[in-house]
Structure 1
């Protein structure tokens, strides 16, 4: 099994290639919604999201982020805590044309909020099915654990 640093590095690469996630509060009442992850390589235990101040996530609290990679071969379920953190330096650092498309007032848009998601735990799956496993799927065989890919639980995300 890979070490924590390698697992986080792998997750970050997958998120960079397709940053679309489902984010929700862990309050039992909220639905998850699609948001684009904003990554800061200086803060590898934090994922950022631009949201509207009126978004249901703006109240913050225990939250979760679910992610499926572009190739649908990597899955992540992250738990942690969400808070609005409108640090102007971080907004500047993460700002892009894609973000500006959602906030016509730019960085000074009165509805702009930057949601900070601090990762507490992560569960990761890599569906790296072997060639033999792929043949078994094609012809209805049973895939053994050594042919199915990998799974890791990371309960301490610090390096």
Structure 2
């Protein structure tokens, strides 16, 4: 559900969604915090499961500040600072052993010395309820104007969309 009042240029929600997952696969670090603002956000590494769209997973300690929060806000900035996302979702601990096996890797193992049976291990599942996505595919004329203090037109700046799903194949 795009908001034309805030869209820059002709935003293509499908392209923005596809780019989100590509960018997160390249740099899976997000700031995650309680939606009610009761805690500061903290950096967590997302585990992406291609079989579950609109869902992110994070290995956390059961005592982590976001482990018990059911409404979360997540912010993502791509490596090249050309893509931004703000995601709202519902969180819960899902310690399904099959899912833990599927997502487990050497980086996670470094944080949990007792491995998959670590009593403090929690697999935080965040089901994304809505998102705002921005891609700064600034045109050459827009970049020149920025360098010299000119006014950048919306059509020169990039794309923005509000979406209810981040699934690539689902209409916005």
Q: Measure, in 2, the Cα distance between the counterparts of 1:154 and 1:3.
A: 7
2:12 alignment counterpart: 2
Aligned partners of 2:166, 2:22: CA distance in 1, in Å?
Answer: 16
The alignment covers a number of residue pairs equal to: 158
Question: Residue 119 of structure 2 corresponds to which residue in structure 1?
Answer: 110
Instruction: Please identify runs of 4+ aligned residues in structure 1 that moved more than 6 A.
Output: none
* Segment of structure 1 superposing worse, 21-30 or 67-76: 21-30
Greater length-normalized contact order (CA 8 Å, ≥ 6 residues apart): 2
Spell out, residue by residue over 1:111-139, the C-alpha distance to the aligned partner (whole angstroms, 9 max, x if none).
Answer: 11000000000100001111011111111
Deviation string for 1:16-74 (max 9, x for gaps)? 01001000111221110000010000001100000001101111211111000000000
Return the TM-score normalized by structure 2.
0.88
Structure 1, gaps ≥5 residues long:
none
Give me the TM-score of the superposition, normalised by structure 1: 0.95
**Which structure shows the higher strand fraction?**
1
Gaps of 5+ in 2: 1-10
Query: Secondary structure in 2 aligned to 1:13?
Result: helix
Change over 3 Å in CA distance of 1:157–1:16 after alignment to 2: closer
RMSD: 1.2
Please give the alpha-carbon distance, in whole angstroms, between the structure 2 residues aligned to 1:58 and 1:140: 45
**What residue in structure 2 maps to residue 146 of structure 1?**
155
